[in-house]
Structure 1
Amino acid sequence: MTPWAAHLPPGLAPDDVHLLAAASLPGSWTARWAADPAHPTVHDDREGWITADELEHRSRAVAGRLAHAGLVPGERVLISAAASVELVVAHVAAIRLGLVVIPANTGYLEREVAHIVTDAAPSLAVVDDEERGRWIAAAAGDREVLVVGTDVAIPDGPDPAWLDGVGSDDPAILAYTSGTTGSPKGALLSHGNLLSSAEALRLAWRWSPDDRLVLPLPLFHMHGLGVGLHGTLTAGASVVLRRGFEVADTLGAIGEHQATLFFGVPTMWSRLASSGRLDELRALRLGVSGSAPLAAALHEEITAGSGQRLIERYGMTETVMNVSNPYDGDRRPGTVGLPLPGVDLRLAEGTDEILLQGPNVFSGYWQRPEATAETFVDGWFATGDVGALDGDGYLRIVGRRKELIISGGYNVYPREVEDVLRAHGDVIDVAVVGLPHPDWGEQVIAVVEGAPGPTSEADLLALATAGLAAYKRPKRVVFVEALPRNALGKVVKGDVVDQVR
């Protein structure tokens, strides 16, 4: 039996799973819209709910405008704006037209925006900030880029003949890596990559039209866009968009809209846990955590306070979703679970690097043939993550190969050290890095979020001594007010190193 059979609903066999039956994202979405045109589909606080039929007609109209402006399948469209109904309409229109969407972080500064514009050469930019629009125009230079707002207020045009004509191999998203180390690279994802992952999650998480997701995650990241939005549309469900995360706002939206689903990153779950209001999550059908490691202790705290046994999962920009704890079965804290439908996973001999194959795996990096070649090993995508499998096949993420610290000839994976130190009740979060050392090569340093007080360096070093071999123990503990994070709450290790140098 294939390992991912554990994710299938009762009565469904692996041979009955056809992840690419709809061929493309529009193929899946338009069928859902036609089946239930009046279904409430997307909500924001400005417009309220729009139905499936309204999303179809509005995105069709915007697609006509874009085609009338001269855009043709394969051209790139940079989209950088806060989550809104208008943004979803523009995104869906571009996807239906066969354009390649570049989701760009709204927190990027001019240099970062210029890198993407220069690298990807978009023909159109959809933004909600005039300054960002000027940065895009300046970076494009002599090559003209049409810059519009999220309402895409340009002249109307007829329905393009090629609307919804894309196939599974056609490109859909050019997603730039989060850039926690080095310059971001563009991962080119096809309709098949995105559809197969959304379909796998629909099956694995029992996602149905009856579900309503509260989504405070940004739509420029794969967690919010490829999982939250695309998953909702593929399942024919409903999504309540939030412009950011605040405990009161999130819990208010969950209650007001009788939500069944909430997806968050560990920092969100941590803030919910410390709010004293976890009990308000009991009505959810499912809570999911991802994009960064979820501490096992936090997992148990959320279960105790809300009754929610969170599903932790594992995905990447280049592969959308790979692995998930099962809906039916043991959801094991500290693990990310079992391969999702369609995904093959193995650990590289000698390094335990996680290798992946499947319809969700991208074809390569945009105009980076050397980087692409380095990333694939005999047809398997090398993730850069180091993993361990237990006797039941559950995957645990040990750390990143590039974050490996070599001290005195011994390998130290930061994740293992971080997990030990997070067990201290006064530690908000911790990042472990290696700094150059003349004798040891690298020295293990723990950077702890929160000012020193009741918790001292000696306390944490004692904890490390009790739980780690000598070569893994931090030689120094540095307290900082806040660890540097990207927009999804993931700690940026390169910036941590700069904090303590």
Structure 2
Amino acid sequence: MRTVIAVAAAEVFDRLPAALDGSGPALLPGGPQSLAGPLGPDEDSAGDPTAVVVATSGSTGEPKGVLISASALVASAEATHKRLGGPGRWVLATPARYVGGIQVLVRSLVAGTEPVSLDLADGFKVPDFVAAVDEVCRTPGRHYTALVPTQLARIVAVPDGLAALRRLDGIVMGGARLSPELREAAAGAAVVSAYGMSETASGCVYDGVPLDGVGVRLVDDRVAITGPTLARGYRNRPDLTAESFVDGWFVTSDLGRFTGDGRLEVLGRADDMINTGGVKVPANAVERLLERHVDAACVVGIEHPEWGQIVAAAVVGAADLDQLRDRVRAELGAPAVPKVLRAVAELPLRGPGKVDRAAVRRILDPIVRDAPGSS
């Protein structure tokens, strides 16, 4: 019986070959020990071993372990290289405990190259990234990296950083939505916006177009994905697996639509719709508007005795909160105006580039509860 072992992120690259061919245990990079241990009969396959278990809390904070097979990881890596223009050498700029970082390592193994890894112990630093790009570009062939929007924003703010980006043949953006403003700031760099998650072995839809072999459809307006990159399900949670993996499709919690040219547009999470006074306000739409005027924003719904829910927002880099409210009112209507709007130094994160919405609610909820007439 194969087992899952917890490993440090720094060990993943060396242990991956044995995990992929089944001669070694499945890897749990940086995950809780509760997800380690023997694999159940439905969690592994002799012909296609479970190679990695990725710990993810999703948006609810409930720890889950996503079971990703060797074939799913390899299929994702090969499809990514095909879309980007061929195998190459990668800069690992995100932690290898998350699926985006793990996939950089898998792509490197598939390409037969050695990644250049940043030391992220003290956080992401643009000079370190520039040096890593310089090192990787000394090797002939194609050169890539994978980033999250917060990293890209820091890079493009530095002339040397933008110059380094433009040396690369592909920059896969994941973790969070890439705003049009940030994409424009990175003009001249080969930026690709990727949509996916641990359950799809990383990004599987690039700039709205599925990778080869991946299928996308809408189920009750929710994005559903099929193809060879799908995970097996959730560790020790057959109930969650049955709920989300249905007839070969993974049904996400994201709302989507198809544009006129057939591209997928992700509109936000289904559970991020805020019902305030009987009016439904999409949190994602308010966030996108605010992010045109601030460095970052997170919009959440908070329970309220009078309104049912109210729109609440935390923003980074705000100059005039009243002006922000006026902009929301003018473009989205009065119900979308945040009744609670707070400037913060930074948004709490639960992964690379992913805002911890539950933590934002905890920050904003005391403001609501302490307000006059809220009890």
Give, in whole Å, the separation in 2 of the partners of 1:371 and 1:229.
28
Does residue 346 of the first structure (1) align with residue 271 of the second (2)?
Answer: no
* Distance apart, 1:169 and its partner CA: 2.9
| Per-residue deviation, residues 109-163 of structure 1 (Å, max 9, x unmatched) | xxxxxxx32343369xxxxxxxxxxxxxxxxxxxxxxxxxxxxxxxxxxxxxxxx
Q: Distance in 2 between matches of 1:262 and 1:199?
A: 15
Q: Counterpart of 1:296?
A: 180
Give the superposition deviation at 1:436. Answer: 1.0
State the alpha-carbon separation in 1 of the partners of residues 353 and 165 from structure 2: 21
Contact 2:89 2:111 in 1 (8 A): no
Equivalent positions of 1:6-45 (< 5 A) are none
CA distance in 2, matches of 1:202, 1:168: 24
In the other structure, the counterpart of 1:31 is: none
Change over 3 Å in CA distance of 1:222–1:322 after alignment to 2: closer
State the partner residue of 1:310: 191
1:284 to 168, 179, 198: 168
Show CA shifts across 1:183-205 (max 9, x none). 21111111222121112112111
Q: How does 1:104-183 map to 2 (within 5 A)?
A: 104=30, 116-121=32-37, 168-183=47-62
Q: Which structure carries more strand by proportion? A: 2
Would the aligned equivalents of 1:77 and 1:94 in 2 still touch at CA under 8 Å? no
Matched residue SS, 1:494: helix
Within 1, Cα distance between the matches of 2:75 and 2:217?
20
In the TM superposition, residue 379 of structure 1 has moved relative to its aligned partner by 4.0
TM-aligned CA deviation for residue 167 of structure 1: 5.8
State the match for 1:51 in structure 2.
Answer: none
1:482 aligns with 2:346: yes
Closer/same/farther in 2, CA of residues 167 and 236 from structure 1, 3 Å limit:
farther
Partner in structure 2 of residue 202 of structure 1: 81
Give the C-alpha shift of residue 76 in structure 1. Answer: 1.3
CA deviations on 1:26-67 (whole Å, 9 max, x unpaired) are xxxxxxxxxxxxxxxxxxxxxxxxxxxxxxxxxxxxxxxxxx
Match for 1:298: what amino acid? L
Question: Which residue is 1:439 aligned to?
Answer: 306
Match of 1:90 in 2: 15
Q: Summarize the Cα distance change of 1:309–1:466 in structure 2 as closer, same or farther, 3 Å threshold.
A: farther
Evaluate the alpha carbon distance shift between residue 287 and residue 500 of structure 1 in structure 2; reply closer, same or farther with a 3 A threshold. same
CA deviation after TM superposition for structure 1 residue 489, in Å? 2.5
Cα pair 2:340 2:364 within 8 Å, conserved:
no
TM-superposed deviation, 1:94: 4.0
Compared CA separation, residues 361 and 90, structure 1 to 2 (3 A): closer
Could you tell me whether the CA contact under 8 Å between 2:99 and 2:202 is conserved in 1?
no
Contact 2:283 2:300 in 1 (8 A): yes
Deviation at 1:343, TM superposition (A): 0.9
Amino acid at match of 2:109: L
| Offset, 1:411 | 2.7
Residue of structure 2 equivalent to 1:237: 113
Q: Secondary structure at the match of 1:318?
A: helix
* Residue 168 of structure 1, CA deviation: 5.0
Q: Which residue number corresponds to residue 64 of structure 2?
A: 185
Please state whether the residue corresponding to 2:175 is helix, strand or coil: coil
Give 3-state SS (helix, strand or coil) of 2:186's partner. Answer: helix
Give the drift of 1:371: 1.2
Aligned length: 351
Root mean square deviation of aligned Cα:
2.1
Write the deviation string for residues 239-286 of structure 1: whole angstroms up to 9, x where unpaired. 111122210110122123326212110000000122233133222112
Write the distance in 1 (CA, Å) between the matches of 2:92 and 2:177.
Answer: 19
In the alignment, is residue 265 of structure 1 matched against residue 190 of structure 2? no
- Matching residue's letter, 1:240: V
1:402-413 pair list within 5 angstroms: 402-413=271-282
- SS of residue paired to 1:202: helix
Number of the residue aligned with 1:212: 89
2:358 maps to which residue?
494
2:372 matched residue in structure 1: none
User: How far apart, CA to CA, are the structure 2 residues paired with 1:390 and 1:176?
Assistant: 33
SS at match of 1:486: strand
Amino acid at match of 2:26: V
Separation (CA, whole Å) in 2 of partners of 1:389 and 1:381: 18
Aligned to 1:275: 158
C-alpha displacement of 1:321: 3.6
Which residue of structure 2 lines up, in the alignment, with residue 246 of structure 1? Answer: 125
Consecutive unaligned residues in structure 2, runs of 5 or more: 40-44, 366-375
Q: Mean Cα displacement is larger for which, 360-369 or 372-381? A: 372-381
Q: What residue identity is the alignment partner of 1:459?
A: Q
Q: Secondary structure of the equivalent of 1:267? A: helix
Deviations 1:263-320 (A, max 9, x none): 11000000012223313322211222111111110101110xxx11410011111111
Amino acid aligned to 2:118: R
- Give the drift of 1:87: 4.5
Query: Quick one: structure 1 residues 257 and 186, their matched pair in 2 at CA, closer, same or farther if it must change by over 3 Å?
Result: closer
Cα distance in 1, alignment partners of residues 164 and 245 from structure 2: 45
Tell me, yes or no, if the aligned pair for 2:174 and 2:203 is still in contact at 8 Å: no
1:487 & 1:266 partners in 2: Cα distance? Answer: 12
Query: What TM-score comes out, normalization by structure 1 length?
Result: 0.66
Gaps of 5+ in 1: 1-72, 106-115, 124-165, 326-335
Residue in 1 that maps onto 2:227: 358
- Structure 1 residue corresponding to 2:27, chosen from 86, 101, 119: 101
TM-score, with structure 2 as normaliser: 0.87
Contact 1:175 1:186 in 2 (8 A): yes
Which residues in structure 2 correspond to 1:447-486 (within 5 Å)?
447-450=314-317, 455-486=319-350
- CA spacing shift, 1:461–1:168, aligned 2, 3 Å: farther
Q: Cα offset for 1:387? A: 1.1
**1:299–1:309 CA contact under 8 A, matched in 2:** no
Contact preservation (8 Å) 2:19, 2:52 = no
Deviation at 1:378, TM superposition (A): 4.5
Is 1:428 matched up with 2:295?
yes
1:174–1:257: structure 2 CA closer, same or farther, 3 Å change rule? closer
Q: 1:404 offset after TM fit, Å? A: 2.5
Aligned 8 A contact 1:201 1:340 in 2: yes
